[in-house]
């Protein structure tokens, strides 16, 4: 089985919380979706100036920059989990509190182009990892945040997580739709 096209994970391959992210992935062309999202994030956010990138639709909500930083953090953590589980490491992996990660990161103090370059680098690393996995790695399961998860589910979760945040940026932050969305792939 090619890592660029993976069957959808079964319900028992991740915690129910993640089924919403997995459900946002329109098909099985994971390699195409990973690459398309990298382009989509760039097209959607690169035109923003600093004031627009610091916008929050409500006082307690993250800014656009904080969303980009959060996406980078989450993808690194999901990729690390994927690596450990794909390599057969049975060590239970700790969870993380995304809300606790954002304030100390000071994403709003950074330039948006720097955050976008970081996302591109993180995504490129994810793509390289995914493309290099042997077929048998996709069925491996491990434990993260006290729940069972497979490598296949983790890559679907990564794609669905970014899809979720792109939807929030379009709906709540009123950023325009992109012709390069996953629905078009």
CATH class label, 11-184:
mainly alpha
Predicted confidence at residue 2, as pLDDT, reads 43
* Mean pLDDT split into 10-residue runs, the chain, 185 residues: 78 98 97 96 96 96 98 98 98 96 98 98 97 96 98 98 97 81 55
DSSP notation for 30-80: HHHHHHHHHHHHHHHHTT--HHHHT--SSTTSPPHHHHHHHHHHHHHHHHH
DSSP 140: -
Measured CA to CA, the distance from residue 92 to residue 143 in angstroms comes to 5
Measured CA to CA, the distance from residue 22 to residue 24 in angstroms comes to 5
- Domain locations along the chain: 11-184
């Amino acid at each position: 089985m090619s890592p660029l096209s993976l069957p959808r994970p079964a319900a028992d391959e991740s915690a129910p919380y993640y089924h919403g992210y997995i459900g946002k992935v329109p098909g099985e062309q994971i390699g195409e979706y990973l690459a398309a999202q990298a382009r989509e994030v760039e097209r959607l956010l690169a035109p923003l100036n600093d004031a627009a990138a610091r916008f929050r639709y409500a006082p307690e909500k993250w800014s656009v920059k904080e969303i980009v930083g959060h996406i980078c953090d989450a993808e690194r953590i999901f990729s690390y989990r994927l690596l450990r589980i794909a390599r057969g490491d049975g060590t239970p992996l700790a969870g993380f509190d995304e809300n606790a990660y954002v304030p100390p990161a000071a994403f709003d103090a950074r330039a948006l182009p720097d955050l976008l370059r970081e996302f591109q680098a993180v995504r490129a690393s994810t793509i390289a990892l995914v493309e290099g996995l042997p077929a048998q790695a996709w069925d491996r399961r491990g434990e993260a945040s006290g729940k069972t998860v497979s490598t296949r589910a983790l890559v679907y979760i990564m794609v669905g997580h970014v899809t979720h945040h792109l939807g929030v940026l379009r709906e709540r932050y009123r950023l325009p739709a992109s012709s390069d969305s996953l629905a078009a792939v």
